[in-house]
Amino acid sequence: MLTSFALIFLCSIALGGVCKKIHIPPLVGMLITGIALSAFGLIDRSILAVSADLRKVIVVTIVD
């Protein structure tokens, strides 16, 4: 599970930076990362079990 968190974090930061350079909000790159990693099955199933709680934490983080 920790490996999946690290993969999500690093890939989202990288793709967010790429999007920022081409004048697209970095959040779009982060969303694309999450969709792509889950589509290819690179995210651990235990993360998907707690995804509802993670979404709430992320929304609070984005709003602040």
pLDDT tens column, 9-45 = 999 999 999 999 999 999 899 899 989 998 898 888 8
Q: Give the span between the Cα atoms of 41 and 20, in whole angstroms.
A: 26
| pLDDT tier for residue 64 given thresholds of 50, 70 and 90 | low
Other Cβ atoms within 10 Å of 29 Cβ, number: 21
Q: Does residue 1 carry a pLDDT above 90?
A: no
- Considering its fold, how many domains does the chain have in total? 1
Q: Give the span between the Cα atoms of 46 and 64, in whole angstroms.
A: 27
What is the pLDDT at residue 47? 82
**Distances in Å between the alpha carbon of 64 and those of 3, 24, 60?**
27, 20, 6
Q: What is the mean pLDDT of residues 36-61?
A: 84
Q: Does residue 48 carry a pLDDT above 70?
A: yes
What is the pLDDT at residue 21? 96
Q: Give the span between the Cα atoms of 50 and 64, in whole angstroms.
A: 22
